[in-house]
Amino acid sequence: MIIAKNIGSWMNHSIAYIMEFTAGLITTITVQSKSSEAIIKLGTVTNESLSFFKERHIQAEYYKKLEESIKDCKEVI
């Protein structure tokens, strides 16, 4: 027998709260993107194109983590 997971999420471009509802309990998982400070720590960027590339890479990592968190769910609300 397959037990369906009931998942709800609240998210924006930098943080996601994923709530799993099981047996009257709510478990919350937080998925967070690296901050813009992390981009600065990667090095001083004088090239705007390179800066944009780094920001997109960090954003892609965030969405990949989010995908991994909800991949076993049939439906997310």
| Separation CA 60–CA 20 (nearest Å) | 24
- d(C-alpha 74, C-alpha 77), whole Å: 10
**Distance between CA atoms of residues 69 and 7, nearest Å:** 10
* Predicted structure pTM score: 0.67
3-state secondary structure of 68: helix
| Extents of the domains making up the chain | 6-70
Q: What is the pLDDT of residues 63-74, one digit of tens each?
A: 999 888 888 887
Summarised one tens digit per residue, pLDDT across range 8-44 is 888 888 889 988 887 778 888 888 887 655 655 655 5
In contact, 9 and 70? CB cutoff 8 Å:
yes
